[in-house]
A and B are shown apart, each in its own frame.
Chain A
Amino acid sequence: MTDFERRSIISGIGQSVVGRRLGRTGLDLTIEAALEAVADAGLTLADIDGIATYPGGGSPAGSDFSGPGTPEVQDALRLEVRWHSGGIEGAAQLAAVVNAVLAVGAGLADHVLVYRTVTEATGQGGGGRQGIGLGGGGKPTVGGSMQWSIPFRAYSAANWLALNAQRHFHEFGTTREQLGMIAVNARRNAALNPRAIYRDPMSLDDYLAARMITTPFGLYDCDAPVDGSTAVIVSRADHAAGLDHPAVGVEAVGTALRGRPSWDQWDDLTTMAARDAGAHLWTRTDLKPSDVDVAELYDGFSFLAMVWLEALGFCGRGEGGPFVEGGHRIALDGELPLNTNGGQLSGGRLHGFGFIHEACLQLRGEAGERQVADAEVAAVANGGGPIAGAMLLTRAR
């Protein structure tokens, strides 16, 4: 029996204009990305019979974070679907793609529109980045799992993940000079990506001189809120023949979560949920980490990309610092080109889906100046803290 992953391909990709404070609605940006993806897949809207997103409408984090829910997008495009899904619980942002692959594999849909939309730059307005739980007037209160962090003045994932990073620094001797190469590498690649937000050259000295956010994270360890939408079409594998470009095969997914799903109760703070999703991924394929040509690993914070490098076995546990040191291995011409579009650090916080889009471009040989030669296997990872999902994509043969 074929693993369910091989019954699907990513047949089309689309991305809206990406920018700071575009002043357009999330629905408007989503439609732009969706129409591009549908056309790229050689389809029309009438062919789309499934729709999925992350995290879906109604997220307590607000619509600038969540984008439009599937009912809004379905209605705006007048889609008639056999399957639809949105939700925040699952294998990070990639859960929406995994769900679509499951639906196609199970025969519930033939062509699924999967999208992720953010308008966080517009939402931020002219002010600084907001902390979590600080909205509203009067005396704010917080319940649920957040009551164990926010009342202790830990207002952001920056704070929560800084605690993981500090532990990594403590146990393995990781340094800011090492961590900084993830940001410097991202900026180097962003210079070759016309859609990237920050393209001016940035040196390691520039990185180290930036203001501190929460030790060990400085400003350039944190990604940049943007407005933008990314869409992919997950299709039945037999649709590959109908494409005017190489299909992208879904080789394997990693969705496991074995540790306590908590920011501070996770057993080994240096690993996070990436450990389990990464290990799971390699149980579902005969390919090995050494087969990967390009790695598009979530960098909402620089440290997360380091954690993913370890979790996916590109280096050993605790060896992320030495692996990225100097930036040679992770450069476009290195042994493992990392975040070839500038990641979220310099490309903009498209919240996971930017990595999928870039992986598809690389596998299709359409990445322009930043193309990695003969890219046939791409690793994509999303998430941080107790949230993680990974995917291995291939140029379909």
Chain B
Amino acid sequence: MTELPFRVLPAVDDTNEFFWTAGREGQLRFLRCQGCGYFLHPPSPRCPSCGSRDVAPEPVSGRATVFSCTVNHQPWTGETEPWVIAIVELAEQEGLRLTTNIVGCPPEDVAIGQEVEVVFEQHDDVWFPVFRPVGSPT
């Protein structure tokens, strides 16, 4: 087990708690319009696709594709091991994107188009959804 990196915590409130605590149940959740099925991110009280205000958190598969990625080398926090920041696109909907980290493989092995799956990293009462290559060892 490698040591967890430092992370700035999100300010959790009623509008985002469903997202930041979903990992407690091992799930990734997004708001979804109960009228037309559109996933909203970041959270918003009204579906921008159909106008419905009936939106609620729903779990997604946690499968995604790397849309873009960068290997950070700058020691912003004093940490010197390179890390991968990525934008992933969730399997459920084109354009449903999340900025996240890719873990579980050497940074230089991450590539745009790669299939990844969610894994959670717990800090206090927050579960950070990060992603690892599909099929990588746990």
Most chain A CB atoms below 10 A, which of B83, B87, B126 = B87
Does A147 lie within 8 Å of B11, measured CB to CB?
A: yes
Q: Describe B's contact surface by its main secondary structure.
A: strand
In Å, the complex CA distance between A264 and B98 comes to: 7
**A373 contacts B by Cβ under 8 Å:** no
- By a CB distance below 8 angstroms, the chain A residues around B100 are 152
Interface string of B57-97 (1 = CB under 8 A from A): 00000000001111111111100000101110000000101
CB of B122 to closest CB in A, whole Å: 13
- B15 — nearest CB in chain A belongs to which residue? A143
In Å, the complex CA distance between A187 and B52 comes to: 53
- A262 — nearest CB in chain B belongs to which residue? B42
Q: Which of A140, A148, A213 contacts B9 (CB 8 A)?
A: A140
- By a CB distance below 8 angstroms, the chain A residues around B70 are 159, 162-163, 165-166, 214-216
Does A267 lie within 8 Å of B95, measured CB to CB?
A: yes
Does A133 lie within 8 Å of B8, measured CB to CB?
A: yes
In Å, the complex CA distance between A149 and B7 comes to: 11
Given contacts A153-B85, A214-B72, A264 and B95 within 8 Å (CB-CB): no
**B137 contacts A by Cβ under 8 Å:** no
In Å, the complex CA distance between A187 and B77 comes to: 30
CB of A355 to closest CB in B, whole Å: 26
Given contacts A152-B99, A163-B68, A166-B112, A141 and B11 within 8 Å (CB-CB): yes
CB of A351 to closest CB in B, whole Å: 20
Does B87 lie within 8 Å of A264, measured CB to CB?
A: yes
Does B10 lie within 8 Å of A147, measured CB to CB?
A: yes
**A2 contacts B by Cβ under 8 Å:** no
Does A141 lie within 8 Å of B112, measured CB to CB?
A: no
**11 A–B pairs (Cβ distance < 8 Å), ordered by A:** A129-B74, A142-B9, A152-B101, A153-B7, A153-B76, A154-B85, A163-B85, A170-B112, A214-B70, A265-B41, A265-B95
B residues near A, CB below 8 A?
5, 7-11, 13, 16, 41-42, 67-77, 83, 85-87, 95, 97-101, 112, 124, 126, 128, 130
Q: A133-B8, A156-B76, A265-B42 are in contact. List 10 more A-B contacts (CB 8 A).
A: A140-B9, A143-B11, A147-B11, A148-B42, A153-B5, A153-B83, A153-B85, A153-B101, A163-B87, A211-B73
